[in-house]
């Protein structure tokens, strides 16, 4: 079936370090790749997204890169802060075909 | 506040019972999505409605059903409940017909506990 693989499942970094989360998708027709952040006990919220006609997008400390040929995309968080601690979900979407990754639990240690 | 309202926030029931979860999308959003999130698990897509019509179906069990009403609110019906149905059920809405038209706005979720 069409899946989204997300790695790592858990990630622990020291405050100020960078964090990278990677996702691989199989549906070559996917053209929209959002990232959602879910804090403990809260609802998922969109933090950044990228469309297939763009290779990279940046918003302050957060960036996403997309390699369509290899069918993988990554979330980069620089200068991590304790409030970045959460579960992050990637998704690969093509119109009505929508798949989320299993999530990455990021812990930023002060 | 995302603008998506879900009720009830918490629900405890017994195996074999039936429950209904309700979702009101953001004003102007025509699409409603339902997701199931079990403990420490990812978001499992259940079903999507667009303007009253079923648009896409994911891993939704036959014991589960949903609908979207003319006022665009949606209900998810879960019947013959099993222990494994205990989860957080999220509703999300978006303005467009497809999931790639933009951000999904999630509600706070309905936590279902089946005893």
Candidates A96, A99, A102: best to mutate against B (most CBs of B within 10 A) is A96
Q: Residue A96 and residue B41: Cβ atoms within 8 Å? A: no
Q: What is the pLDDT along chain B (115 residues), one digit of tens a residue?
A: 889 999 999 999 999 999 999 999 999 999 999 999 988 778 899 999 999 999 989 889 999 999 999 999 999 999 999 999 999 999 999 887 766 667 889 999 999 999 9
CA A74 – CA B102 distance, rounded (Å): 19
Tokens of B91: 């509703």
| B1 Cβ under 8 Å from any chain A Cβ | no
pLDDT recorded at residue A54: 82
Q: Residue B45 and residue A95: Cβ atoms within 8 Å? A: no
Which residues share a beta bridge with B49?
A: B32, B54
Write phi, then psi, for B100 (nearest 5 degrees).
Answer: -95, 10
pLDDT recorded at residue B100: 63
pLDDT recorded at residue A1: 47
Pair B13, B114: CB distance under 8 Å: yes
Q: What is the 3-state secondary structure (H, E, C) of B11-64?
A: EEECCCCCEEEEEECCCCCCEEEEEEECCCCCCEEEEEEECCEEEEECCCCCCE
Q: Residue B103 and residue A43: Cβ atoms within 8 Å? A: no
pLDDT recorded at residue B72: 95
Task: Provide the terminal-to-terminal Cα distance of chain A, rounded to the nearest Å.
Answer: 40
Candidates A43, A48, A89, A104: best to mutate against B (most CBs of B within 10 A) is A43
Residues 66-85 of B with CB under 8 A from A: none
CA A62 – CA A80 distance, rounded (Å): 10
Write phi, then psi, for B29 (nearest 5 degrees).
Answer: -80, 135
* Chain B residue whose CA is closest to A32: B100
Max intra-chain CA distance, chain B: 39
* Beta-strand pair B110-114/B10-13: parallel
CA A25 – CA A90 distance, rounded (Å): 10
| Number of helical H runs and strand E runs in chain A | 0, 11
Neighbours of B86 (CB within 10 A): 16
Q: Residue B2 and residue A45: Cβ atoms within 8 Å? A: yes
CA B94 – CA B50 distance, rounded (Å): 9
Say if residue A8 is preceded by a cis peptide, omega within 30 of 0: yes
Distance (Å) from the alpha carbon of A91 to chain B's nearest alpha carbon: 10
pLDDT recorded at residue A46: 94
pLDDT < 50 positions in chain A: 1
pLDDT recorded at residue A84: 97
Residues of A in contact with B43 (CB under 8 A): 44, 89, 100, 103
pLDDT recorded at residue A3: 81
Secondary structure class of B54 (helix, strand, coil): strand
From residue A107, alpha-carbon distances to A3, A15, A43, A75 in Å are 25, 9, 18, 15
């Amino acid at each position: 079936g069409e899946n989204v693989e997300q790695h790592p499942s858990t990630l622990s970094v020291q405050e100020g370090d960078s964090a990278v989360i990677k996702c691989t998708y199989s549906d070559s027709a996917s053209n929209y790749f959002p990232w959602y952040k879910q804090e403990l006990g809260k609802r998922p919220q969109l933090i950044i997204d990228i469309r297939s006609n763009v290779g990279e997008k940046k918003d302050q400390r957060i960036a996403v890169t997309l390699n369509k040929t290899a069918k993988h995309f990554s979330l980069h968080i620089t200068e991590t802060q304790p409030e970045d601690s959460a579960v992050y979900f990637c998704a690969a979407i093509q119109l009505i075909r929508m798949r989320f990754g299993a999530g990455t639990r990021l812990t930023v240690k002060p | 506040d995302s603008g998506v309202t879900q009720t009830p926030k918490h629900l405890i029931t017994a195996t074999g019972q039936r429950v209904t979860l309700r979702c009101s999308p953001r004003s102007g959003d025509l699409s409603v999505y339902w997701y199931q999130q079990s403990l420490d698990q990812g978001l499992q897509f259940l079903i999507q409605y667009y303007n009253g019509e079923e648009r896409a179906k994911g891993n939704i069990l036959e014991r589960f059903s949903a609908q979207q009403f003319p006022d665009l609110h949606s209900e998810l019906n879960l019947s013959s409940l099993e222990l494994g149905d205990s989860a957080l059920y999220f509703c999300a809405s978006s303005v467009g017909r497809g999931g790639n038209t933009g951000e999904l706005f999630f509600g706070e979720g309905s936590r279902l506990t089946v005893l």
